[in-house]
Amino acid sequence: MTYKAEYIWTDGTKPTAKLRSKTRILADGAELPVWGFDGSSTSQAEGHASDRVLKPVASYPDPIRGGANLLVLCEVFNTDGTPHESNTRAALREVAERFADQESLFGIEQEYTFFQGVRPLGFPEGGFPAPQGGYYCGVGADEIFGRAIVEKHLDNCLAAGLGISGINAEVMPGQWEFQVGPLSPLEVSDQLWIARWLLYRTAEDFGVSATLDPKPVKGDWNGAGAHTNFSTKAMREGYDAIIEAAEALGRDDKPLEHIRNYGADVEARLTGAHETAPWNAYSYGVSDRGASVRIPWQVEVDKKGYIEDRRPNANVDPYVVTRLIVDTCCAALEK
Ligand code: ADP
Ligand code: MN
Ligand code: MN
Ligand code: MN
Ligand code: MN
């Protein structure tokens, strides 16, 4: 007997990597082999030396095909065994390992927008829906667009064993959110990429696409972010570490270094309006959804917990944002 392994990887598309996948038939009980692909078709190679290598790093039960079939997340390598330049997971591995004793945890809130054709789901032909106000966490056919897809996606994520912690309808019609975590840096990032793949794959069967575009509709409509919640063991145990992490993110050249790597076109979303802080002015505050970094009110009451970096775009690479936050905050907390 055989099973199907769906090999999934991130490609070399700039400025935002796309997900790619292809199917391998394997004999029951066979280990997941390394595999090759045509890197010249994924912006990961030139045609004259096009072979790239897929190395399985994590696998999950495939909720689409069911049975013994698997989703297989891969890192991309060059044929000489070095990580391909698009392989951002390789750099996270090193940083996560270096600071492993601080036991970092992340919960990422993934916002996204459904599209049918050229319009967000729920936007009338040639016009706009009623202004924002009733859609966030709404109920009813006048406010909610795509719930059947969202429910199916949630079930698929749970069946794949992903650490999904919740979902909600967002501020703009057709806009939704799911949360992954809290999990270790590598786990949350791997699972976020798989959850994104399942989002596209699930919506495909409904004739709907999903986008991580940070500002899918210009004007007075909310953008889509990926709020990144972060804690270390020390932060989960005391408030000094919470403040030090929030301070460290604002020190020296850190704000710009982070912003530059928080997703394509992040400046278009971080305007200072629509529950964002301006991209070029770092701030943190308790309960403040207009700050770059928010300390949740409960964390201030308990004097321990986590912080929320509200800056990352929906289209951020989780391997990059978790690496930067661990690197910046854990180095500061180590002192
Ligand atoms: P918001 O009020 O910002 O919409 P959500 O409930 O959508 O908050 O998301 C909060 C996220 O914080 C969840 O993904 C959750 O897993 C994560 N989280 C909770 N506790 C911690 C922690 N100690 N460290 C890191 N992340 C955490
Ligand atoms: Mn071919
Ligand atoms: Mn949220
Ligand atoms: Mn949200
Ligand atoms: Mn949030």
Closest listed residue to residue 72, CA positions, set 40, 48, 37, 112: 37
Residue 273: the pLDDT is: 84
Strand order in the sheet with 2-10: 19-27, 2-10, 70-77, 51-61, 35-38
Neighbours of 76 (CB within 10 A): 26
Beta bridge partners of 83: 77
ipTM entry: 0.97
Beta bridge partners of 169: 176
Q: Which two tokens stand for residue 304?
A: 């321990």
CA of 176 to the centre of ligand 3 (A): 10
How far is C-alpha 147 from the geometric centre of its chain's CA atoms? 20
Query: What kind and span of H or E run contains 5?
Result: strand 2-10
Beta bridge partners of 274: none
Among all bound ligands, the one having the nearest atom to the CA of 40 is 2
Q: How far apart are CA 232 and CA 331, in angstroms?
A: 12
Whole-Å CA distances, 201 to 3, 49, 204? 19, 31, 5
CA of 72 to the centre of ligand 2 (A): 20
CA of 80 to the centre of ligand 1 (A): 40
Q: How far apart are CA 195 and CA 178, in angstroms?
A: 9
Phi–psi pair at 107, nearest 5 degrees: -125, 120
Q: Which ligand 1 atom sits closest to the C-alpha of 310? A: 3
CB 255 within 8 A of CB 249: yes
CB 253 within 8 A of CB 328: no
CA of 181 to the centre of ligand 1 (A): 7
Residue 331: the pLDDT is: 98
CB 213 within 8 A of CB 314: yes
CA atoms within 13 A on the CB side of 313: 26
Nearest alpha carbon, ligand 1 atom 15: 107
CA of 285 to the centre of ligand 1 (A): 16
Closest listed residue to residue 173, CA positions, set 206, 127, 204, 207: 127
Closest listed residue to residue 64, CA positions, set 198, 218, 179: 198
Q: How far apart are CA 171 and CA 304, in angstroms?
A: 29
Nearest alpha carbon, ligand 1 atom 7: 109
Nearest alpha carbon, ligand 1 atom 8: 109
Pocket test for ligand 1, best of 104, 179, 235, 299 (most atoms within 8 A of CB): 179
- Ranges of the chain whose pLDDT falls below 70: none
Closest listed residue to residue 121, CA positions, set 141, 99, 91, 151: 141
pTM: 0.97
Among all bound ligands, the one having the nearest atom to the CA of 51 is 2
| CB-based pocket (< 6 A), ligand 1 | 105-107, 109, 165-166, 179, 181-182, 227, 229-231, 236, 305-306, 308
Secondary structure class of 55 (helix, strand, coil): strand
Secondary structure class of 266 (helix, strand, coil): helix
